[in-house]
Structure 1
Amino acid sequence: MKIDLLIKNAEVYNSFLKKFERKHAAVSEGKFFYVGLMDLEDSAPVQVLDASGKYMVPGLIDIHMHIESSMTSPSIFSGAGLANGVTTIVADSHEIANVFGMEGIESFLAEETEMDIFYAIPSSVPSTTAEMETTGGKIELEEVRELLSSPQIIALGEAMNFKGIVSEPDSLIRQILNETQQTHPFLPIEGHVPRVSGIDLARYQFAGITADHTQQTPESIYEKVSSGMFIELQKKSINPENIRMIDQHQLYEYTALVTDDVIADDLLDGHLNANLKLAVDCGMPLEQAIYISTYTPARRMGFQDRGAIAAGLKADFILLDDLTEWTISEVYKNGQLKHQKGDPFKYPKEKPGFPAHFYHSVDCKKLEAEDLEIHAEGNEALCNVIRIQEKGTFTEHVQRTVPIRDGRLDWAASGLALILVMERYGQNGQISFGLVENALTEKGAIATTWAHDHHNLMVVGTSAEDILLAQHKVLELQGGYVVTKEGSLTGCCPLPIGGIITDAPIEVTGQQIKEVRQAMKDLGYVNTNEVMSFSTLSLPVSPALKITDQGMFDVRTQEKIPLIEEIR
């Protein structure tokens, strides 16, 4: 047996005992050949590495994430992820699918990456129905059947349409769930199960959904796990209360850490490793945090070849200088060194080979001042309003009184912000209007085509001048994020590929998004994740009131909610 790499004297994490042990590890043909006390130096290894004082843990595995949320392509993301110790991901590419359909998915599948990237079939494109949102692409039964035959597909991505799942047995999402279970009965099925409990939770499970990654509370974690559902904790669910519930009831076997969405600027500082460290800071024992970032996610996705440091498994591992700060010294993939501390992210020599039309996909009207006039007769209007929360992506449905002047709704004087969503695929030219509370306190606007999940063009603003400036700039860029304040451009991140990603280095995109985020704060936007909060104002599967190009909708009932409830 030829030993390609011998790692000596490392503090090796034992996934089966959940503890560190001083051992040697031998690698052959990209796999661990031996892990134990025997020194195999007499086997003439090609390379010997003395890891005295270092901690050796399996490569991290992120089983629920969206590459597009990092605003980049798979090949560019790969280098950033590896630098953070992530060696395997399962990506649901439903964002690029909403823009380009199967062509978008195939473009991602075709990219070569050093990281192992597997995919979950986007099950909800659109996230609801064509009557509720306009998308550039659709994934229906025919596309699902085709994707199920790909060796890169190992799961069905998050099923999101609440009404379609719980009360419409013939809905497209139910057909997709049934098809998957009949043809691939062992395929993991991911869910999007926010604020769902009791009989509705049972309906989700009866439909075949076995995991949830949405925002949790201690009560929801206990109910879902005790009902048989696997829990995937993303950053907004990692808090002392939730960790205490998991630890108190020893729910680690039914839990994994995931990222779901890591914005480009956050990716500069960490990926799944950041969530692992946060879990420890919130009270989770380190050994358990490692376990649910490596071994339980591997089991959840059916991986038989990774997730631990043991003979016969892939030699994907991290060497750490210290455990407290989780300082990464080196990252190995298949026994090959891929990153060392201090190195920049490594990118492919050539840019991703997307089709030319991917760079010219935003096709909608250039707004004029009169487009922002909402006509109404009377003295004042009782309006349905989207109220933004300061934490997470959920919203509240509230009602506020807005004055009417000269036959127009005077939204600019209401203390609220105008929100509009424009269909951007050149299909119907639809524009919808709403009002938002807790958005902007200053005169300005925010515009983006990175609007989950349909990615139409969305603008929120407190002045017509700024709304027009921001929308015009997004059109000029062919997609991206733009912030204006008092008639000046204050933040800009171009996303020209489908209006949602770019082929620029992460360092460039990350810095641009940092500036966008600060510009949003300067306008008074308050949230623990400003960019994600804003982008999900248009997500009609995330409670409670959201807006698409087709109008405002109650997420639970899918009832269309009018902007003006009553004229007084």
Structure 2
Amino acid sequence: MTASGGIASWADSAARLVAVAAGRMPADLVVRGGRWVNVYSGEIIPGTDVAVAAGRFAFVGPSATHAIGPDTQVIEAEGRFLVPGLCDAHMHVESGMVTATEFARAVIPHGTTTMFVDPHEIANVLGLPGVRLLHDEAMTLPVNMFVQMPGCVPSAPGLEQAGAAIGPAEVAEAMGWPNIIGLGEMMNFPGVVAGDPAMLGEIAATQRAGKVVGGHYASPDLGLPFHAYAAGGPADDHEGTRPEDAVARVRQGMRAMLRLGSAWYDVAAQVRAVTEGGLDPRNVVLCTDDSHSGTLVEDGHMDRVVRHAIAQGLRPVTAIQMATLNTAQHFGLERELGSIAPGRRADLFLSSDLARLPVEVVIGRGVVLARDGALAVEVPPYAYPASARDTVRLGRAVRAVDFSVPAPAGVESVACNVIGVVENQAPTRALVRRLPCRNGRVEADAAQDVCHVAVVERHRGTGTVSNGFVSGFGYTGSCAVASTVAHDSHHVLVVGTSREAMAAAVNRLAEVGGGICVMRDGRELALVELPIAGLMSDERAEVVARKAGRLVAAMAECGCGLNNAVMQHSLLALVVIPELRISDIGLVDVRRFQPVPVVLGA
């Protein structure tokens, strides 16, 4: 069986739904004898049957015998829980290193039937046409993938140069597309706080269209800047890391989005605002933000997030509400999604344990999509055009000397600004380390866990290389890791202990059209090819996950012990999250939003 996208509207289905509920027509599908997880009432209701017609719930009650005809498919729930299909409130497909189709294939068996995706990664490479590519692909899927129009391309104008630019005119145009649900995360929070006309213009265009504005306030300051940001219109925020962050957002009328991605573990701290502080959970939603392909295939998706939230002390029904009804209400889709109730899209899964949440049968739009962790339908691959490929344009092959930081004359060591990686969190620390100098260059220092880091411009072939230093990866020996996944402008980002290894890794990515490469002692340890915009593979998710597994092992072989170091690596250039980052224009202090020198002085 082949699954395809699309579902008739409620208006076009209403007559049949009413007829099935009244017993005048048979249902397409009936699930019998389940325990109904009712996210409206907070109850678990045993002995419940569900009847489905035209891809929507027609009847939910104690017996659907009246809806069973000769051609009705009947599934025996056998007392298992009937759980609404899970919703990811904020995520980036590109972080999985796969296409939207492959992402869906990976997460459907985990009970995810709705995603709200912000494709600002591909937007930074290909601009508005790239957003349209992913938008159109999403509409072919057998599950719900709504697209948020990226609003911060580049994320920090003046501090980085992306491959494209998006402004109010592009946002206004996209608001008329059929699958655009709102504006993506407004990462340029200093611009909003300062009243930047472009940022406020994008927000205004979204609100005029009656759609949701995504937030991104990546600062611990809950004083006047936070209040100014809230006044700017964002309806949600996923950058909180503390209980007080969740409280502040909800009090200002935002939804607090708590994320558990491959590298971001922000649920445990913030959910205490609910479990210990008594915060009303109706305005709290769960999301992943960024999920590595290995995480998707091996550990799960929103089912993983819900299980984790339950483990932190949430009632199972409350955790499920945060990943279903709360999300649907936030995006104005309560009558379409987020619950098992008449008229809604027939998205649910069967589970035998509400705390462990095994996902045993997944139904999307009334079709059985997966059983026991395996897809039950074919989801055909999506063909990306040639215009989305060959996007790594260096202009020239890089050399080892390109990765040099000049040292002041006649000194043996200098004080330097160094990016400090914080495990399992997006923020970095601004460190100062004294580094040795040799032959007129500042050197990395393994004894202090300090490596070289550089950004190589790859959109226009300018040959520009900006250099700095980073601490926290633990690399030893002669090694380098290079990636064209470098949030958000996605130049080539390389970290290494050896300039020669750095050059080899960067040039290798230019050969294959983008990806992630690990070099050690003159040989290639791992390579994940990402030919679509330098961000996504055109291979199956399982294949990419295996390659990503080898990548993680190779990084560990180089001495890295960080959890999900790939994600930590990719965010070193994200110049909208404090404290210190590197972009194609140099080192950036994100606390003050201004460039800073690498070398402070002798």
Q: What TM-score bracket applies, with the shorter chain setting the length?
A: over 0.9
CA contact (8 A) 1:35 1:311 kept: yes
The 3 A distance-change label for structure 1 pair 482 and 347 is farther
* Structure 1 unaligned spans of 5+: none
2-structure distance, mates of 1:490, 1:215: 36
Structure 1 residues 256-265 or 518-527, which shifts more? 518-527
1:119 equivalent in structure 2:
147
1:421 equivalent to 2:455? Answer: yes
Structure 1 residues 9-18 or 352-361, which shifts more? 352-361
Structure 1 residues 435-444 or 101-110, which shifts more? 435-444
Deviation, 1:403, is 2.4
Deviation, 1:218, is 1.2
Out of 154, 166, 173, the position equivalent to 2:181 is 154
1-structure distance, mates of 2:567, 2:238: 15
Amino acid at match of 2:226: L
Q: Matched residue of 1:298: which SS?
A: helix
1-structure distance, mates of 2:475, 2:43: 51
1:35 equivalent in structure 2:
60
Deviation, 1:412, is 5.6
1:44 equivalent in structure 2:
69
Out of 10, 15, 39, the position equivalent to 1:15 is 39
CA contact (8 A) 1:80 1:346 kept: no
CA contact (8 A) 1:80 1:345 kept: no
Out of 350, 365, 370, the position equivalent to 1:319 is 350
Q: Matched residue of 1:110: which SS?
A: helix
The 3 A distance-change label for structure 1 pair 241 and 458 is closer
Deviation, 1:52, is 1.5
Instruction: List structure 1 segments (4+ residues) > 6 angstroms apart after TM superposition.
Output: none
1:374 equivalent in structure 2:
405
Out of 447, 454, 457, the position equivalent to 2:492 is 457
1-structure distance, mates of 2:247, 2:446: 46
Amino acid at match of 2:539: A
Out of 89, 95, 109, the position equivalent to 2:115 is 89
CA contact (8 A) 1:446 1:467 kept: yes
Show CA shifts across 1:190-240 (max 9, x none): 111122412111111111112111242112112222232211111134454
Show CA shifts across 1:126-148 (max 9, x none): 1110x211211211122111101
Deviation, 1:117, is 1.1
Out of 253, 274, 289, the position equivalent to 2:282 is 253
| Alignment of structure 1 residues 280-429 onto 2, 5 Å | 280-303=310-333, 304-344=335-375, 348-349=379-380, 351-364=381-394, 365-376=396-407, 377-379=409-411, 380-411=413-444, 415=448, 416-429=450-463
2:5 equivalent in structure 1:
none
* Structure 2 unaligned spans of 5+: 1-18, 20-24
The 3 A distance-change label for structure 1 pair 449 and 43 is closer
Q: Matched residue of 1:538: which SS?
A: coil
Structure 1 residues 367-376 or 534-543, which shifts more? 367-376
CA contact (8 A) 2:51 2:67 kept: no
Amino acid at match of 2:222: S
Show CA shifts across 1:22-75 (max 9, x none): 111111222111111234247526122221121111111112111111111112
Q: Under a length normalisation based on structure 1, what TM-score does the superposition of the two structures give?
A: 0.95
Amino acid at match of 2:459: Y
CA contact (8 A) 2:400 2:502 kept: no
CA contact (8 A) 1:217 1:237 kept: no
Out of 75, 94, 101, the position equivalent to 2:101 is 75
Out of 559, 571, 584, the position equivalent to 1:536 is 571
1-structure distance, mates of 2:30, 2:241: 43
Q: Matched residue of 1:403: which SS?
A: strand
2-structure distance, mates of 1:97, 1:483: 26
Q: Matched residue of 1:8: which SS?
A: strand
The 3 A distance-change label for structure 1 pair 196 and 302 is farther
Percent identity at matched positions?
31
Q: Matched residue of 2:410: which SS?
A: coil
Amino acid at match of 1:148: M
Show CA shifts across 1:354-392 (max 9, x none): 221322110113221222333221313221111112231
| Alignment of structure 1 residues 266-285 onto 2, 5 Å | 266-268=295-297, 269-285=299-315
CA contact (8 A) 1:440 1:462 kept: no
Amino acid at match of 1:521: A
What is the count of residue pairs matched by the alignment?
562
Q: Matched residue of 2:360: which SS?
A: strand
The 3 A distance-change label for structure 1 pair 82 and 410 is closer
Structure 1 residues 152-161 or 387-396, which shifts more? 387-396
The 3 A distance-change label for structure 1 pair 162 and 239 is closer
Amino acid at match of 2:302: L
Deviation, 1:344, is 4.7
| Alignment of structure 1 residues 48-197 onto 2, 5 Å | 48-111=74-137, 112-129=140-157, 131-167=158-194, 169-181=195-207, 183-184=208-209, 186-194=210-218, 195-197=220-222
Q: Matched residue of 2:151: which SS?
A: coil
Out of 204, 219, 234, the position equivalent to 2:244 is 219
1-structure distance, mates of 2:594, 2:515: 30
The 3 A distance-change label for structure 1 pair 412 and 357 is farther
CA contact (8 A) 1:189 1:209 kept: yes
CA contact (8 A) 1:295 1:308 kept: yes
Q: Under a length normalisation based on structure 2, what TM-score does the superposition of the two structures give?
A: 0.90
CA contact (8 A) 2:475 2:496 kept: no
Deviation, 1:520, is 1.6
Show CA shifts across 1:493-534 (max 9, x none): 111111100110000101111111122223233433311111
The 3 A distance-change label for structure 1 pair 138 and 345 is farther
Amino acid at match of 1:409: V
Show CA shifts across 1:95-115 (max 9, x none): 110010011111112221111
CA contact (8 A) 1:421 1:431 kept: yes
CA contact (8 A) 2:33 2:77 kept: yes
1-structure distance, mates of 2:403, 2:498: 10
1:25 equivalent in structure 2:
50
